[in-house]
Amino acid sequence: MTTPHAVNPPHASLDAATVGEIIQMALSDHVSFAQIRAAHGLHHDEVKALMRTHLAPGSYRAWRKRVRQFGERRENYK
pTM of the model: 0.77
Q: Is the model more confident about 29 or about 54?
A: 54
pLDDT in tens, 15-40: 999 999 999 999 998 899 999 999 99
pLDDT at 13: 82
Rounded to an integer, what distance in angstroms lies between the CA atom of residue 23 and that of residue 42? Answer: 12
Sign of the dihedral defined by the CA atoms of residues 37, 8, 12, 65, in that order = positive
